[in-house]
Structure 1
Amino acid sequence: MKRSIICLVITAMVFCTNPLLAQRKTENVVIVTLDGLRWQEVFKGVDPYLLANNKYTRDSGFIAEKFTAATPAESRAKLFPFLWSTIQQWGRLYGNRLYENDMNVANRYHFSYPGYNEIMTGYPDTAVNSNDKIKNKNENVLAFLNKQKGFTGKVAAFSTWDVFPYILNKWRSGIYVNSDTDTLHFNNSNLSLINDMQFLTAQPLNVRPDILTYMAAREYMKAYQPRVLYIAFDETDDFAHGGMYDQYLKSAHAEDAMIHDLWNYIQSNPIYRNKTTLIITCDHGRGDVNKDNWRNHGSRIPESSQIWMAAMGPDITPEGEVKTHMQLYQEQIAATIAALLGFHFTANHPVAKPVEQLLQK
């Protein structure tokens, strides 16, 4: 009897002192990634050099009218109205290097598969060094959560890029992963319509448009109420590689609007309202010092290790744009996702610690 009482007291002390195990209001998590979207646009708005260069911006008049302003703060608010209104007011934004609020990838490669592996596994594995369709041997946080009581069958991922089934190793993880033009096998009229659209639409970037990835994810969320949902957009990276700065900005703006739409649904549904944390980030950065390098990323371009993150939810104390000097890493995101739901993420490899500053009340 005494031993049981002592155990209860010790457990209570651990829960009270460890922010990872403390009682939390978050019951659901939504993660969104915007492939290769630079911190420079997120925090400074439209780049004047790239806007004025007709090699990269063919629609400069529209872009100037739509997204530029007298100050960088006004420009970024026009480009990302959801980030700089709702999240600025109710959440946090990390990664503005003008304040030495730095966030970087920990992997040495600075491109997509290594970045997404790092986000989801918390482990910047040096063996993950290509974008090839190789089944990931590392265990990811989505698969971990899918094994927890109350979460089994309630974890799903939707992506535009067709490598995600391999990154998340859907064959081992058991989570639902829908990528590119995967058929939506569900008895739901809205999902059936999206399924038809994705096969009939043009594919300028050789993958389905991000809007169809988003609509599939949103309607799946409405129909099946997942507790963990991951949406991975792709167009920003593709347009950047193509040197189309105007299209890169338009896609970034559209993705901000999609996230806003999703948040409106979350807050309209009692299953999710005030119980859901939203995390937004990217897999890598892009060049900046040499402006022509904005198209590219990789180990030879140091700035492409520079990333950013936004978060908002019932357990996150609003701070807006975080201006404190600190160094965060992409590898911390996986454990942070688990901690927000009250779990300590463990895997078959080392896992980085969560962003404790984000978890503190």
Structure 2
Amino acid sequence: MKKISVLLLLILWVFTSQAQHKTEKVILITTDGFRWLEVFNGLDTALLNQEKYTKSKRDLVDRFGGPPQASRAKMLPFLWNTIATKGQIYGNRQYQNFVNITNQQWFSYPGYNEILTGAPDDERITSNDHIDNPNETVLEFLHKKPAYKGKIAAFSTWDCFPFIINEKRSKIPVNSGKELVKNPNSREKLLNEIQETTPSTIADRHDFITYFLTKEYLLNKKPKVLFMAFDETDDYAHAGNYDAYIKAANNFDRYLADLWKTVQSMPDYKDKTTLIITSDHGRGQYPKSGWTDHGFRTAYSDQIWFAVIGPDTPAKGEIKTAGQFYQTQFASTLAKFLGENYAPNDKVGKPIEEVMNK
């Protein structure tokens, strides 16, 4: 009798766990080098008031000005009107809520390697050179499973991602840089034409092309896991153009809003999709001139942020309690949302339990 009771309890526990777990698709989205300072405070008035960095101060103030909470909501309305009410946002260091990278490089390839593999590699990933990643990403780990084979894709503005994801080995399709879509439909053909005829002086291509190519793939291919990487926030910051940096962040938020609206309109995705949103590295903070740079010689470049929204994430909004989280945790968290255990070695960070229903 006891054995039957234990068996029934086990069956009930499994059934309840499955009933609570609703995520079937995950979309990971990054915007390169976007500081936590703007995420949580809006416009940086010190940069706003320096003509060296801000050429159209009046325009930025009219569109995004005000006290910190008002400014951030104008700049990032989806983040602060939707995720802040239905999801969670981490990394406001004013509340001792810390999110840090652990690699010692503090720039892009090492950051994306850490996001996607769950561990730093300070011996082999030490530059932004276009070299095939020797490490297996969580995307490749999932792609080897029958349930995800042919159901994972990546789109990026920066042309290094075919190497970061190791497209040749993983067989995961990565549309990146100025790559055109092969055998395009009518919308993709137009985007190909725009990409070929619209020059970009600061990036491999404009972020809007990356977004709409990704959206078209989502609508037609219906992947289970999708990775989207935008770059203009980093490009404009390196150029010292604060106006364009802020507008690029606002555009990024628009893409997020449209993406969420899109997945919530698709029966295969509605209330079954989790978005994980973050950045690969931070930027300089003090002195203010350091905002254009990052790397181990630029203090504060290891400080990042992240946000999550989806059917398994409790609506806690902006997290105002002390805590420490790491970039190494994103890969295992992504996998756990799908009910998978990603722990290839002891360097991989553990899943962030706070963003999941228990």
Task: Quickly name the TM-score band, shorter chain normalised.
Answer: over 0.9
Distance in 2 of aligned mates of 1:339 and 1:318? 18
Do structure 1's residue 66 and structure 2's residue 67 form an aligned pair? no
Query: What residue in structure 1 maps to residue 82 of structure 2?
Result: 86
Equivalent positions of 1:49-198 (< 5 A) are 49-69=46-66, 71-127=67-123, 128-198=125-195
Paired residues of 1:28 and 1:277 also in contact (CA < 8 A): yes
The change in CA–CA distance for 1:78 and 1:297 in structure 2 (over 3 A counts) is same
Paired residues of 1:35 and 1:282 also in contact (CA < 8 A): yes
Distance in 1 of aligned mates of 2:346 and 2:149? 22
Shift of 1:16: 8.8
Distance in 2 of aligned mates of 1:290 and 1:13? 58
One-letter amino acid of the counterpart of residue 329, structure 1: Y
Q: Is the partner of 1:229 in helix, strand or coil?
A: strand
The change in CA–CA distance for 1:292 and 1:14 in structure 2 (over 3 A counts) is farther
Distance in 2 of aligned mates of 1:114 and 1:186? 33
Q: Is the partner of 1:114 in helix, strand or coil?
A: helix
* CA displacement, residues 178-197 of structure 1 (integer Å, 9 cap, x when unaligned): 00111211342212221222
The change in CA–CA distance for 1:78 and 1:132 in structure 2 (over 3 A counts) is same
* CA displacement, residues 260-281 of structure 1 (integer Å, 9 cap, x when unaligned): 1111111111111100001110
Distance in 1 of aligned mates of 2:75 and 2:55? 18
* CA displacement, residues 285-312 of structure 1 (integer Å, 9 cap, x when unaligned): 0011211101111112231100000100
Distance in 2 of aligned mates of 1:7 and 1:330? 39
Paired residues of 2:36 and 2:305 also in contact (CA < 8 A): yes
Do structure 1's residue 294 and structure 2's residue 304 form an aligned pair? no
Do structure 1's residue 259 and structure 2's residue 256 form an aligned pair? yes
Distance in 1 of aligned mates of 2:238 and 2:51? 16
Distance in 1 of aligned mates of 2:139 and 2:100? 22
What CA RMSD, in Å, does the superposition of the two structures yield over aligned residues? 2.2
One-letter amino acid of the counterpart of residue 145, structure 2: Q
Distance in 1 of aligned mates of 2:245 and 2:29? 17
Shift of 1:204: 2.0
Q: Is the partner of 2:255 in helix, strand or coil?
A: helix
The change in CA–CA distance for 1:7 and 1:196 in structure 2 (over 3 A counts) is farther
* CA displacement, residues 111-147 of structure 1 (integer Å, 9 cap, x when unaligned): 0000000000001111211100110011101111112
Distance in 2 of aligned mates of 1:329 and 1:162? 26
Give the TM-score of the pair, scaled to structure 2: 0.94
Paired residues of 1:22 and 1:342 also in contact (CA < 8 A): no
Query: What residue in structure 2 maps to residue 283 of structure 1?
Result: 280
Paired residues of 2:232 and 2:245 also in contact (CA < 8 A): yes
More moved, 195-204 vs 129-138: 195-204
Distance in 1 of aligned mates of 2:300 and 2:8? 49
Question: Where does structure 2 lack aligned partners over 5 or more consecutive residues?
Answer: none
Name the count of aligned residue pairs: 356
The change in CA–CA distance for 1:222 and 1:54 in structure 2 (over 3 A counts) is same
Query: What residue in structure 2 maps to residue 225 of structure 1?
Result: 222
Paired residues of 2:286 and 2:299 also in contact (CA < 8 A): no
Shift of 1:24: 1.3
Shift of 1:8: 6.9
Question: Where does structure 1 lack aligned partners over 5 or more consecutive residues?
Answer: none
Paired residues of 2:41 and 2:69 also in contact (CA < 8 A): yes
Distance in 1 of aligned mates of 2:58 and 2:127? 38
Distance in 2 of aligned mates of 1:7 and 1:135? 50
Shift of 1:6: 11
Paired residues of 1:100 and 1:324 also in contact (CA < 8 A): yes
The change in CA–CA distance for 1:324 and 1:16 in structure 2 (over 3 A counts) is farther
* CA displacement, residues 66-95 of structure 1 (integer Å, 9 cap, x when unaligned): 1111x1000000010000001011000000
Distance in 2 of aligned mates of 1:175 and 1:10? 41
Equivalent positions of 1:315-334 (< 5 A) are 315-334=312-331
* CA displacement, residues 313-343 of structure 1 (integer Å, 9 cap, x when unaligned): 0000000000110000001000000000000
Distance in 2 of aligned mates of 1:314 and 1:236? 29
Q: Is the partner of 2:301 in helix, strand or coil?
A: helix
Percent identical among aligned pairs is: 48
More moved, 266-275 vs 147-156: 147-156
Query: What residue in structure 1 maps to residue 33 of structure 2?
Result: 36
